[in-house]
Every structure is written in structure tokens, then in C-alpha cells.
Structure 1
Amino acid sequence: MSFDPAAHLPDDLLARIRSRAAAVDAENVFPEEDLADLRAAGYLAILVPTELGGAGLGLREASVLQQRLAGAAPATALAINMHLVWTGVAKVMSDRGDDALRFLQEGAARGEVFAFGISEAGNDLVLFGSDTDAAPQPDGSYAFTGTKIFTSLAPVWTHLGLHGLDASDPDDPRLVFGFVPRSDAVVTRDDWDTLGMRGTQSRTTELHGAVAPADRIVRKLPVGPSPDPLVFGIFSAFEILLASVYTGIARRALDLAVETARARTSKKTGRSYSQDPDIRWRVADMALAYDALPVQVETLAADVDGLVDHGAMWFPKLSAIKHRAAATAKQVVDEAMLVAGGSSFFTRNELSRLYRDVLAGLFHPSDPESVHGALANAWLGPLEP
């Protein structure tokens, strides 16, 4: 059966979301109405199996939808992305015979919102270490104390997926992954006042002994890199869906550049700027840069869905696609600004917002240093001692 993106993100829904994006950015608020519309459309459960009440899509289809959503409202797409990452992790794991996150799939089908609480200030180990304390409790639950940053969906999440370090056994410290509900032990700072992606409301989250029940503790892993399916699930869903958002931004910038070139008229020649050789060259360059992204993202997402085994190449491939999408999207938006001319410098211009929003791609893992290190190791071998 062919996949119809409009069946999950209808044109009229996208139009409503697009119409609200500028105000969300200007007012620095969470897009509550977007979330309500997407929840009503079943979008929170697109990656949940049909037998559990979801749409039964794979990462390949979700990637297409996120590109489509990002073209309408990048911040809404990036915020929802973090919920979709967790449902993507659940799918990756269940596809490989591990149903540890079935509760999450059932919750997403009910409309619950799962946020991503991994990032910590100064923690460049990311998934492989944590400065958050995970204290074991007698009933098997864990109490988490620490600070998480860039917690998208901060005003609306119902469950926060996070990790922390259980150092109760100094000889065998463990990274504990679990889910905490909202409670008085979780404090969300109102500190999201950023250059772009303002609608994500990715605020700082303080954990003061926030308890994840025993049945919401999904892994206790050794510190450091791990081949565990949870880690692979997080990395694959995170990088592919992030790449999808920035690919969608690149497409929207290209479309706006084309529209603007056709609408502007040169005083010098009296002809449309779409007939200007320099503008045509610039738009062609944008198209060349963008054109490779959707195919590459689709191929890698399909490989995850299809259980393809890339072995040690998975990390370089996944980190590279996110880096390539973010860097290319920035390049395309830069060029679109030049095609549009001085009008794009005004905040009322959509390109002005895209110009700011696309910069967020620079700050998501994997950073350029780790991407280049991974690819150098893959092609040249590790550094000699």
C-alpha cells in the first residue's frame, strides 16, 4: 500500500499550523494549539503499532511527515520530534524483539507526551555518562537528582525519559534509564529566550529526587559506549528525525526563494528575477544541495526499519546524516536570504525566522567534531597511540 503523507498531515492542518508559527515565535510561547491539533489527528502515535492504537508507520514514513511539518513550523516540528524520538526508540526495540517500552507506545496512543531528558551542561559523553544522580530505592524505583538542559516540550510533557548515574556500587557504576512523571520534584525553569526555535520551549529541568517507578526503569547499563538496543534506538531515531526537520527547513527555504524570484521584478531589465542568470545559478545551487538530503534520510531510515546491519558503520552513518542535513539546511537558508534580498532581513519575513531557526541544528548531537572523528576512524582507522 502506498504511503500518503496527507492522510496523517492534511493540507488544511498544515495551513493552520503555518498561520500560527510567526506569533508563536514572536511571543516566545509553546504552540499549544498545534499540539492539540496534532494530538487530535493521531500524530503522537504515528510510530505506534496499529494493534496498540497507532498508525503503524516506520521511521521512513515519519521522516517524510516531519519534513512536511517542519516546512510549516520548524519549532513545532522540532518539539514534537522529541516525543517521536521516544516512540521511534520503542519501535526500533520492538522490531528487534524487545518490548520494554510497550507502556510508552500505549501511552502515546492515549495522547500522552514523552519528553527527552538526556542533555546536561558540560556532559559531552551524552548517552554514555551522566552528572545526574540516580539513587536506588528499596522498591526498585530510582530517585533522580540533577539538571537537564534543552528539555523540549517543557510546558506540556507528561513523562520525561532520562538517564542518571547509580554510583551506589563504586566498583560497578550503572547508567539508569527511566521515565519520571510530572511531580513537585520536577522544576521547570522559565528560561527559554533564544535566537530561534522559540516555540520548542526547551527549558532547563531541575530534578529534586524525581522518582521513576520500578516498572518505568528500562535499562541499567555500564558507563560508556554500549551495543544495547536502547542506545541504538535512541541514536538512530534521534539523528534521523533531527535530519528530517532540517531537511524540511531546507525545502521550505528553497520554495520561498523560488516564489520570491518569480515575484520580484528588476528595475534594470524589467524582467522577473527568475530570469536573472545570477539568481538562477544561486537557486540551482540551492536545489543541488537540497536534492541529496531526502534520498539519504529515506535510505537510512528504511535501513533501520528493515533491520539492515551496518555494524560499526552505524554510528558514522547516523551522525553524518544529521550533520549533513543541518549544515546543508543552513547553506540553503543563507542562499535563500540573498535571493529574497533586503526584505528577508525584516522579522515579519518568514525567511528571517527560518534563518534563526536553522541555527539550532549546530547545537544538537552529534557535534561536528564527533562526526568528523567517527568518519575519520571509519575510513582511516583509529589514531595510533
Structure 2
Amino acid sequence: MSTFDPAAHLPDDLLERIRERAVVHDRENTFPQQDLDELREAGYLAILVPAELGGAGLGLEQAALLQQRLATASPATALAINMHLVWTGVAKVFGDRGVPGLEFVQRGAAAGEVFAFGISEGGNDLVLFGSDTDAEPRPDGGYAFTGTKIFTSLAPVWTKLGLHGLDTSSDDAPKLVFAFVDRTDAVVTSDDWDTLGMRGTQSRTTRLNGAVAAPEHIVRRIDPGPNPDPIVFGIFSVFEILLASVYTGIARRGLDLAVAAAQARRSKKTGTTYSQDPDIRWRIADMALAYDALPPQISSLARDVDELADHGPRWFTLLSGVKHRAVVMAKQVVDEAMLVAGGGSYFTSNELSRLYRDALAGMFHPSDPESAHATAASAWLGPLETPGS
């Protein structure tokens, strides 16, 4: 990792163009099409695809560093791209472990296809372990999906949607079916994304009206509930690590802006810059202490995924924990950064104002605070006892 140069995949000039456009997409509530076009041209959509299939051949550890870097320029662009990278990351998890079935994702990403993440459903707190979407088997081995997915990032541009649904009619039902569907008339995307932050992700609601996944795009059929299948580990590990990366990137940008503000602002009382004020110095030190803990944690966990480490049941606590800590830290750091920068940061034209709003979205991604704490409590205290046991 010491020889890895993030700027080789995300050059400074590209980041600056993305940063300049971020304020426009936030203000106008539009998708950052130019960002996607430039990132695709730079090969970014295939950073996790093996070199022999046309990608950069990077590992999850390197992708996490890149996503932190991208988030410093535009959190919304980074979060949107995350959802594509989740599927290419799952394909890498499969390939590294000798599991076939997602080679078409790798080839598609290398060819410029955009994969979206269609797992979230309103009111479904089972997330990966259940689905309210109906998966109807077809005679040819494919499936037709009917249901509603929420928070579908990349909504205006995706070419394939990775999703799950519940098969309740096959002889071995119930089975959770993971598959990919194309964008057709059976997929309706609502124009309903008008949010407080992360506006550029355009994570709209998606309605499936018998959307068909071809037999070759049926990835997994597994029992509902907690499951050791690699599709569950692959999605959970890549999703949590890359989410933690985006919010850690937000924190880094907030810290950098706070430092710049402290060095630029000058006190009328003392005649010195705010960087010489003991209270401001303590505040920035507190931000730095919180931020510094996350990049090493993310790198360590990502490296363990890359190197096939076996943490057993501890994986879920470690992964949900790093995501939770990253979003809590990001909110803390950006909040402190606004206080360092002063009242000017309260204006919507100020970048810190946008970072503050973007950071709030972190709590709504799985694993949410309740789930992360429940997972940690079960790991350390054992499962909850049932009445009468």
C-alpha cells in the first residue's frame, strides 16, 4: 500500500472540477452527469475489476482510500458512485473466494455500464435478510420482480439494477433471490428526490412492475434470515466499508476547511489569527483526534476483506461498528468546523453548510445506530433472552 498513489486514479484537476460542480448540483437538485462521465473516462467505474477483465485491479483497501478522496470534493458524487462500487466489490469478493456468478458485473463495469443498488425498501428493517418485493419464477429460470425500492442512487443513469426479492411460490420456497434487471418499461423511477442533503445522488424511489431478470443474471437463491452465503458477506462488507469511507472523507474536508478558516480569521481583540486562540486550537485538536482514528480502521478492515481474513461472527460487529463510528465522527467534526469558521458557515453558499447537511444522511444508511448497537450488544453479551427461557 505504501506505493499506492490515489492521485493516479483521481487527479487533483479532476477533483477540483468535481468540487466546483458540487455546489451547483446541490443548489439545483440535479445529478452530476459530468462527474460520472469524467470518472467513467478515467476508468474509475472499474477500479475494483481485475486487470485481465479490463479494470484497474485495485483492492477494497485502495478503493476505500479513493472514495475518501472523492468525498472531499463532492460527498454526493462519492456516495452515488459507492452504490456502483458495491456491486463491483461484491464481484471481487466472489472472485477472490472462487465463487462464480458475477463476472458479467465486472465485464459490464469495464465496458462503462452503471450498476445501481436496489435493496432498501420502506419499512423493511430486515434489509438483506428479507424482502417485500415479490420474485416470481419464470419457466426459463429467470424471475419477474414486483415491488418498491427506495433510496436508489444513480436513478437517472443506471443501466442495471442489482436487487433482491422473495420467492414464495417455488417448491423450496421461501427463497431470497438476488439478481440484476435492465432498465425497461417495467421499471418506473419517481422524480421524488428533494432532500436536505446528498442531493446530487438522486436516490429516487423505484417501482418494479414485473421487471425481468434473465436466468444468467440470477446471482443467488438463499434462505431468508441471517445467512453465511457470500452474497450477504460481500454486500455487507463492501457496503459498510465504502460508506465509512465517504463519511470519513467528509470529515477530512471539514477539518481542512476549519484549519484554513482558523489561519485566515483574525481577532480584533488580540490582533492574532484564530489559530493562536487556545479555545480554537483545542477545538481543532479535538476534531483531529476524532478523525485520525477512522482511516486506519477502514484500511485494516478493507485489507482483511482483500486478504480473506476470517473474523467469523465478529465480522458483523466490526463492519457495522466502523460505519457507525465514521458517521458519528463526521457529524461531530463538521459541527465543530462550522463553529471554528464562524457565522459565515451558516450561509448555504458556504461549503461547510453543505457538508453539514450531507453528513446528516449517514445515520439513515444501514447499519443504523439501533442495528449497530444491537449487533455489538449481542456479540459481547449474547442474544436477548426470550421470555420464559
Cα deviation digits, residues 179-221 of structure 1 (max 9, x gap): 0000000000000000000000000000000000010001111
1:197 aligns with 2:198: yes
User: Could you say which residue in structure 1 is the equivalent of 2:282?
Assistant: 281
Aligned mates of 1:140, 1:298 — CA distance in 2: 40
Asked if 1:382 is matched to 2:380, the reply is no
- Mapped to 1, the partners of 2:175 and 2:378 lie a distance apart of 27
- Match of 2:342, SS state, is helix
Separation in 2 of the partners of 1:5 and 1:313?
A: 30
Any idea what the Cα deviations from partners look like across 1:275-317, whole Å, max 9, x if unmatched?
0000000000000000000000000000000100000100000
Output the amino acid matched with 2:94: M
- Secondary structure in structure 2 of the residue aligned to 1:223: coil
Counterpart of 2:247 in structure 1 is 246
Aligned to 1:311: 312
Shift of 1:153: 0.1
- Secondary structure of the residue that 2:78 maps to in structure 1? helix
Question: Structure 1: 5+ residue runs without aligned partners?
Answer: none
1:301 aligns with 2:302: yes
Provide structure 2 residue ranges, at least 5 long, that are not aligned to the other structure.
none
State the 1:171 CA deviation. Answer: 6.4
Count of equivalent residues = 385
**How many Å separate the matches in 2 of 1:185 and 1:259?**
50
Cα offsets for 1:235-287 (capped at 9, x unmatched): 00000000000000000000000000000001111110000000000000000
CA distance in 1, matches of 2:170, 2:218: 18
1:376 shift after superposition: 1.1
- Is the contact made by 2:136 and 2:169 (CA closer than 8 Å) also made in structure 1? yes
Q: Match of 1:147, as an amino acid?
A: T
Describe the superposition over 1:327-364 as per-residue Cα deviations: whole angstroms up to 9, x where unpaired. Answer: 10000000001001100000110000000000000100
Tell me whether 1:177 sits opposite 2:178 in the alignment: yes
Q: Does 1:46 align with 2:84?
A: no
Cα deviation, 1:42-85, whole Å, max 9, x if unaligned, reads: 00000000000000000000000000000000000000000000
The 5 A counterparts of 1:129-208 are: 129-169=130-170, 172-208=173-209
SS at match of 1:282: helix
The SS at the match of 1:207 is strand
Corresponding position: 1:96 with 2:97? yes
Counterpart CA distance in 1 for 2:247 and 2:352 is 14
Identity %: 76
Q: Secondary structure at the match of 2:365?
A: coil
Give, in angstroms, the shift of residue 383 of structure 1. 2.3
Aligned AA for 1:361? G
Secondary structure at 1:71 match in 2:
helix
Aligned counterpart, 1:37: 38
Q: Indicate whether 1:324 and 2:333 are aligned.
A: no
Find the counterpart in structure 1 of residue 75 from structure 2.
Answer: 74
Distance in 2 (alpha carbons) for counterparts of 1:289 and 1:194: 28
* TM-score w.r.t. length of structure 2: 0.98
Q: Give the superposed CA RMSD.
A: 0.8
Q: Runs ≥4 in structure 1, deviation > 6 angstroms?
A: none
What is the match of residue 361 of structure 1?
362
Q: Does 1:115 align with 2:116?
A: yes
8 Å contact kept, 2:137–2:170: no
Question: Structure 2: how far apart are the matches of 1:101 and 1:172?
Answer: 24
Structure 1 CA distance, aligned partners of 2:381 and 2:134? Answer: 38
SS of 2:355's equivalent in the other structure is helix
Kindly provide the amino acid, as one letter, of the partner of residue 251 in structure 1. R
TM-score, normalised by the number of residues in structure 1? 0.99
In 1, Cα distance between equivalents of 2:252 and 2:278: 22
Q: Distance in 2 between matches of 1:133 and 1:172?
A: 12
The 2-side partners of 1:110 and 1:151 are apart by: 22
Letter in structure 2 aligned against 1:49:
P
CA distance in 2, matches of 1:192, 1:286: 32
Distance 1:342 1:136 in 2: 58
Q: What code does the residue aligned with 2:375 have? A: A
8 Å contact 2:40–2:112 — kept in the other structure?
Answer: yes
Alpha-carbon offset, residue 170 of structure 1: 7.5
Map 1:340-355 onto structure 2 (within 5 A): 340-355=341-356
Distance in 1 between the 2:380 and 2:145 partners?
Answer: 40
Cα distance in 1 between the residues matched to 2:378 and 2:100: 33
